[in-house]
Structure 1
Amino acid sequence: MFAEPLHKDGASEAEGAALPLSGVRVLDLTRYLSGPYATLLLAEMGAEVIKVEVPEAGDDTRHIAPLQGDVSFYHSTINRSKASVELDLKSEEGRELILAMAADCDVFIQNFRTGVAERLGIGYDVISKINPRAVYCSISGFGGTGPESRRAAFDLIVQAESGVMSLNGEGDSPPSKLGLPVADLSSGMFAVHGILAALLKRSRTGKGSLVEVSMMSSLLSLSVYNATRYFVTGETPKRMGSRHPGVVPYGQYAGSDGNILLSTFSDGSWKKIVQAMDRPELADDPRFVTAASRVVHRDACDALLGEVFSGFTSDDIVQRLQVAGIPCGVVRSLGEALEVEAASGSGAIAEVEYPGQVGTIRSVRIPIKFDGEWCPAKPAPALGQDNAMLDRYRKP
């Protein structure tokens, strides 16, 4: 059995009831990005997420510019579809209310630095005694044990120390952070995986679980075959930009008006490419006939393709190669990609209506459909807009 909802939205109760996590109550003590991204995914898959915020100030992301009206673009994106209550976790009343709410939730999630939840009296040992069925999730920077565990962590620091930055950029340039906050986002996604698995386990055993995810372990996990290659060879992978260490041609090439990117793996792809680009005389060049020989002659192959592509527009190159069955695409800016997606009518871009003078804020939906329907995206809450629900938990 799951909790009865405390936060009701009459306009969307019917559609919410049809979502997979309908009836799951999540007590959300997370801040910034990793935890709020996890609870955004849970909320828009139907869970009732109650976000606990510092009185008066709220989550720091509420104040990140630019703002539309009085709503931050950052906060509005990652805190959609949640409820908001204000509690001072350092006060006796705040702690009593948190414990009362924890006894009534299915999932308890926090992303405090290791040790902070325990000092506040809301660690796993305490919560699991109050509510043995609760799934307790902790997201940290460097894990719950070990000499690094109590360090504060932000995405940039973890990207640097995980080795991810060492893989990003061109070989002759310094390591560079990825353009997306991958440590935050991946740890949030892995936390959701763990929470859903623990809820499934609870449906069989009746008992909750402790789910632990760190930003560092998340990025190391995403290194997948790069990590195994290092353990097998002892060689650290090198920065190669958009190129691939074992595949040619692969990566970014310039047309007359912009760049395209292509990915090829088979021996026969070379012949298809040169024929599509009206250069059939290059098909039997022994340097490029096989995938293995192209890797040996990488620089010559890339230079020759650069010459061939320079006489065509990027759209023309892509159209020709797609007809030939070569995976390829135009290199777009994020703005261009968003406008193309919005114009496609796919529904992936949500138009979220806010009250008052804020108006409509457009943002990207979570990338999950159920039974052909997108998950509904509701406005991020005003600070403390659901404080009335706390009355249920106050002692008479």
Structure 2
Amino acid sequence: MKSFMDDSLNSFGATTEGSSAGPLSDLVVVDLSRVLAGPYATMVLSDLGARVIKVERPGTGDDSRAIGPFKDGKSAYFTSINRGKQSIALDLKRAEDREIFEAMLARADILVENFRPGTMKKLGYGWSALHARFPQLIYAAASGFGHTGPDSQKASYDMVVQAMGGIMSVTGHPGGPPTRVGTSIGDITAGLFTVIGILSGVHDRQKTGEGRFVDVAMLDGQIAILENAIARYAVTGKAPGPLGARHPSITPFAAYPCRDAHVVIAAGNDALFTALCRAMDLRELLDDPRFATNETRSDHADALGEILSARLGEADAADWLARLDAAGVPAGPLHDVGEALGHPQVRARNMAIETAFEDGTPLTAAGNPVKISGFDDPASRPKAPRLDEHREQILKDLGL
């Protein structure tokens, strides 16, 4: 898409050292967000080529600069999410900094923020005010509960929306304590939905010339990914609970113990179950009416699980995985994070990339899962910025 900026201002939109060439290299993002949901969204945009200018609080910057783990006093948490961005420190209550900020907005394509609803309006930068001044600007707001509804002003973090959104109620083992999903899925899903909303707005602007307000709530994102749990509740009227590693309506579809480690087996249809039984020398199960269909297997999941576990316990995980792979049965080892990052498939897809702390110290981070023909997918990404590192360059680009 051709940027809406006129030719005299095109230098502000050019891809810089702060972003890699990609399909979004003609887009400029002004990023007011901090911690995770917003910065995750702008990281995705940066990985796809957009120029992301991170506006931070003078003195301390993004809150996540103070969140561990640390290396030599620098946050790996901040670095992994803010790689490839540029940084300028602005106090939006100071007239001089507001002038810089507004000059950036006049030339930018997208504004991203994740303040509590109403914060930007108090600063004079709410959607209505900005749309009147910068009608082509796409304004994306990621918040805990969105800009409408009775809880819109409620404070939130990932843990809160995981609890309120039902995810924790179906996570863990039956009878166990409430269990948080092991990654910040509330923030990350909100970040991904924010990217979808932004790119939808960019597409719409090509037709209308108008920017849009993108309103994404973390709680909404948790509801959106409940999938099978909502279907079960809608059909039965009963709220589902946790099942450990087992799928609620596909069997066998779980983690099973071998002699030395666990494996995951996902035989998602009758043909795969037949292949599984043959690969495991359990052909007698094919004549057992309890296991004749996926529905009956799910009704007798515990009994089937005991049989499979007993058989799998006779050999090591690697031996079973070789047999199951040869039979075309979806199965895999249970990796820890280090094993996952070191796996040849992950490495081949550049999903364990190298970036760097602000001083250039290397750091391994997750890569970009979106692979697009015609664009490189580099195995390294630019470093994270020092606080206010790019002030001089940004002001020069703005002609200030």
TM-score by length of 1: 0.92
| Structure 1 CA distance for aligned equivalents of residues 282 and 51 of structure 2 | 60
1:6 equivalent to 2:22? Answer no
Aligned to 1:334: 337
Partner in structure 2 of residue 359 of structure 1: 361
Classify 1:178/1:95 alpha carbon distance in 2 versus 1 (closer, same or farther; 3 Å): same
In the alignment, the residues of structure 1 paired with residue 266 and residue 283 of structure 2 have an alpha-carbon distance, to the nearest angstrom, of 20
Give 2:119's match in structure 1, choosing from 116, 120, 127: 116
Match of 2:390 in 1: 386
Q: Which moved more, 1:193-202 or 1:231-240?
A: 231-240
| CA–CA distance in structure 1, aligned partners of residues 343 and 246 of structure 2 | 26
Distance 1:12 1:192 in 2: 19
Which residue type is aligned with residue 84 of structure 1? S
Quote the sequence identity (%). Answer: 35
What letter is aligned with 1:360? P
Residue pairs, 1:99-248, within 5 angstroms: 99-248=102-251
Query: Relative to structure 1, is the Cα distance of residues 355 and 186 closer, same or farther in structure 2, using a 3 angstrom cutoff?
Result: closer
Q: Is residue 69 of structure 2 the alignment partner of residue 66 of structure 1?
A: yes
Report if aligned partners of 1:244, 1:251 keep a CA contact under 8 Å in 2.
Answer: yes
CA contact (8 A) 1:49 1:82 kept: yes
Query: Aligned partners of 2:267, 2:45: CA distance in 1, in Å?
Result: 37
* Cα 1:393–1:264 shift into 2, 3 Å: closer
Structure 1 residue runs of 5 or longer lacking an equivalent are: none
Deviations 1:325-346, CA, capped at 9 Å, x for gaps: 2111111111111122488444
* 2:21 equivalent to 1:32: no
Offset at residue 355 of structure 1 (A): 6.7
Distance 2:235 2:299 in 1: 22
- What SS is found at the alignment partner of 2:29? strand
Compared with structure 1, are the counterparts of its residues 245 and 395 closer, same or farther at alpha carbon in structure 2 (3 Å cutoff)? closer
Q: 1:317 to 1:82 in 2, by over 3 A?
A: same
- Look up the equivalent residue of 2:369 and give its one-letter code: P
**CA displacement, residues 226-260 of structure 1 (integer Å, 9 cap, x when unaligned):** 22432333221121111122222220110000001
Q: Report if the CA contact (8 A) 1:351-1:360 is conserved.
A: yes
The Cα offsets for residues 284-325 of structure 1, whole Å up to 9 and x where unpaired, read as 233223323222322221111111111011111111122222
Change (3 A) 1:100 1:162: same
1:388: how far off? Answer: 1.3
Cα contact 1:31–1:59 (8 A) shared by 2: yes
Question: d(CA) in 2 for partners of 1:114 and 1:51?
Answer: 20
| Equivalent pairs, count | 392
Instruction: Tell me, in whole angstroms, the C-alpha distance in 1 between the residues paired with 2:140 and 2:347.
Output: 38
Distance 2:299 2:346 in 1: 43
* Distance verdict in 2 for CA 1:395–1:362, change over 3 Å: closer
Q: Deviations over 1:128-153 (max 9, x none)?
A: 11210000111111010122000111
- 1:82-134 Cα shifts (integer Å, max 9, x gaps): 11000012223223322222122110111000111111111111111121000
Which digits, 9 at most, give the CA deviation of each residue in 1:166-210, with x for residues without a partner?
010111112211001011001101011011111111111111111
Root mean square deviation, CA, Å: 2.3
Q: CA deviation at 1:29?
A: 0.3
Q: CA deviation at 1:390?
A: 5.2
Tell me what 1:302 maps to.
305
Partner secondary structure for residue 287 of structure 2 = coil
- In the alignment, the residues of structure 1 paired with residue 325 and residue 346 of structure 2 have an alpha-carbon distance, to the nearest angstrom, of 22
| 1:389, distance to aligned residue in structure 2 (A) | 4.1
Letter aligned with residue 159 of structure 1: Q
Tell me, in whole angstroms, the C-alpha distance in 2 between the residues paired with 1:26 and 1:85.
13
Q: 1:9 to 1:142 in 2, by over 3 A?
A: closer
Match of 1:265 among 265, 268, 272: 268
Q: TM-score, normalised by structure 2?
A: 0.91
